[in-house]
């Protein structure tokens, strides 16, 4: 079988070595002669997975004791509702930073529960798109929280600054960027991420929440999205997506073996730099996002002659480079290069891009 590189934005590729391990133990996990997905989530064996995965995640992100880690269902969109439902008791003012598709979706969902201020931070100058630095965000004084998205998976635009000095509660949708770089958890009050981008299979959502936010609330969200209930039952109030949890746990171990997040961050830096350099050095491909806001996870680009996009996607697919089609709301080409994408995959894409340019440019 020829090598195939999967650039899909999500569900996205999982490290080959992790898949091999899962395959090896699929029918006989821990010598139980059963699959991990066939055992009770309340069994000692599964609780070991739950505890170990939390510990590994805490190690990787240096999560302080004063934060709870919750594993939940409903994806990131579930959290678009869960956040306001948990944190607000009546119609309150909140700030939603608008940097692209997903942050906008979060704001639209929040309108059901509160009065969100939509704060646009996108600017376009000489056809270059960039995001305002945090110091220029027009935050409302009385906003109960600020919600933002540090990596816009569809737009390929990112925020690298960490929030600091805000008086409001800070909430981040880290769906496509959690574990891709080192961050200081204490700069945030609540972080959430669906697993299927940069972590594991779809089905599980990770929430990291400052414990003090669980106190003194009178809100009554649905039990399965209620942070206090999830916390009280160690994320096992209802049956969790056990297989996704197990596999995400294997990915955490793989990340630790890679040397942790500082190491992964360097690798991601090298991969994305190579790709952006190829785009910038050509007069064939374009990306008009300012260097400081370019996503290192989702590299979105176009061919200057847009008629060639379709031929590019088709030829790339035949070449073994799959999942490169941009999201339908923006079109074009998108290479998602999460942690699991090896440098060899990016090199292969770059080689293909140069060939394609030579042929059609």
Ligand X SMILES: *Cc1c(COP(=O)(O)O)cnc(C)c1O
Listed ranges 123-131, 164-172, 173-181, 263-271: which one lies at the site for ligand X (CB under 6 A): 173-181
Size, binding site for ligand X by CB under 6 A: 12
- By CB under 6 A, the residues from 90 to 129 that bind ligand X are 102
Whether 254 is a known active-site residue: answer no
Is-catalytic flag, 137? no
Closer of 53 and 151 to ligand X (Cβ): 151
Nearer residue to ligand X within complex by CB, 300 or 308: 300
The reply on whether position 149 binds ligand X by CB under 6 A is: yes
| Cβ 17 to ligand X shortest distance, Å | 24
Among residues 46, 54, 75, 323, the one that binds ligand X under rule CB under 6 A: 75
Question: Which of 56, 102, 155, 245 is an active site residue?
Answer: 102
Strands 298-303 and 285-286 come out as antiparallel
Report 325-354 residues binding ligand X (CB under 6 A): none
Examine residue 294 and tell whether it contacts ligand X (CB under 6 A): no
Binding segment for ligand X (CB under 6 A), chosen from 25-33, 170-178, 266-274, 278-286, is 170-178
76 interacts with ligand X by CB under 6 A: yes
Stretch that binds ligand X, among 124-132, 172-180, 255-263, 323-331 (CB under 6 A): 172-180
Exactly one of 104, 130, 176, 339 binds ligand X (CB under 6 A); which one? 176
HEC letters along the chain: CCCCEECCCCCCCCCHHHHHHHHHCCCCHHHCCCCHHHCCCCCHHHHHHHHHHHHHHHHHHCCCCCEEEEEECCHHHHHHHHHHHHHCCCCCEEEEEECCHHHHHHHHHHCCCCEEEEEECEEEECCEEEECCHHHCCCCCCCCEEEECCEECCCCEECCCCCCCCCCEEEEECCCCCCCCCCCHHHCCEEEEECCCCCCCCCCEEEEEEHHHHCCCCCCCCHHHCHHHHHHCCCCCCCCCHHHHHHHHHHHHHHHHCCCHHHHHHHHHHHHHHHHHHHHCCCCEECCECHHHECCCEEEEEECCCCHHHHHHHHHHHCCEECCECCCCCCCEEEECCCCCCHHHHHHHHHHHHHHHHHHC
Taking the C-alpha atoms of residue 305 and residue 152, their distance in angstroms, rounded to an integer, is 25
Q: Return the residues of window 256-275 that contact ligand X according to CB under 6 A.
A: none
Q: Which is nearer to ligand X, 175 or 278 (CB)?
A: 175
User: Is the link from the previous residue into 340 a cis peptide, with omega within 30 of 0?
Assistant: no
Closest to ligand X by CB, 120 vs 217, is 120
Active site residue 29: no
Which CB atom, from 88 or from 191, has the smaller least distance to ligand X?
191
Q: How far is the CB of 338 from ligand X (least distance, A)?
A: 11
Structure tokens at 257: 């073996």
Among 53, 175, 244, 309, binds ligand X (CB under 6 A): 175
| Cβ closest to ligand X, residue 47 vs residue 202 | 202
Sheet holding 169-173, edge to edge: 67-72, 205-210, 190-194, 169-173, 145-148, 93-98, 115-120
> One of 56, 173, 189, 226 is an active-site residue; which one?
173
> Binding marks (x or -) toward ligand X, 196..235, rule CB under 6 A?
-x--------------------------------------
Which residues of this chain interact with ligand X, rule CB under 6 A? 10, 75-77, 102, 149, 153, 173, 175-176, 194, 197
User: Which residues belong to the active site?
Assistant: 102, 173, 197
């Amino acid at each position: 079988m020829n090598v195939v590189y999967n650039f899909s934005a999500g569900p996205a590729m999982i490290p080959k070595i992790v898949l091999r391990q899962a395959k090896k133990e699929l029918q006989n996990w821990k010598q139980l002669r059963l699959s991990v997905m066939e055992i009770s989530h309340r069994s000692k064996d599964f609780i070991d997975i739950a505890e170990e995965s939390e510990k590994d995640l805490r190690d990787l992100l240096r999560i302080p004791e004063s934060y709870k880690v919750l594993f939940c269902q409903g994806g990131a969109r579930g959290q678009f509702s869960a956040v306001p439902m948990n944190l607000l008791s009546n119609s309150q003012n909140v700030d939603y930073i608008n940097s692209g598709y997903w942050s906008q979706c979060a704001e639209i969902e929040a309108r059901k529960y509160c009065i969100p201020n939509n704060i646009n931070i996108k600017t376009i100058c000489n056809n270059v798109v960039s995001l305002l630095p945090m110091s220029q965000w027009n935050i409302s004084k009385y906003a109960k929280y600020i919600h933002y998205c540090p990596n816009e998976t569809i737009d390929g635009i990112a925020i690298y600054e960490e929030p600091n000095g805000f008086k409001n509660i800070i909430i981040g949708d880290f769906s496509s960027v959690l574990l891709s770089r080192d961050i200081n958890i204490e700069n945030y009050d609540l972080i959430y991420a669906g697993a299927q981008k940069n972590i594991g299979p779809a089905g599980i959502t990770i929430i990291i929440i400052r414990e003090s936010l669980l106190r003194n609330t009178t809100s009554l969200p649905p039990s399965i999205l209620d942070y206090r209930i999830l916390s009280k039952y160690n994320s096992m109030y209802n049956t969790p997506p056990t297989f996704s949890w197990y596999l995400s746990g294997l990915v955490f171990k793989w990340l630790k073996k890679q040397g942790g997040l500082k190491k992964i961050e360097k690798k991601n830096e090298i991969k994305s730099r190579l790709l952006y350099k190829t785009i910038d050095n050509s007069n064939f491909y374009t990306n008009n996002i300012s260097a400081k806001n370019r996503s290192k996870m989702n590299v979105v680009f176009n061919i200057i002659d847009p008629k060639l996009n379709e031929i590019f996607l088709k030829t790339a697919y035949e070449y073994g480079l799959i999942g490169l089609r941009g999201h339908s709301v923006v079109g074009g080409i998108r290479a998602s290069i999460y942690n699991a994408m090896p440098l060899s995959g990016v090199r292969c894409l770059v080689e293909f891009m140069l060939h394609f340019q030579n042929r059609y440019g």
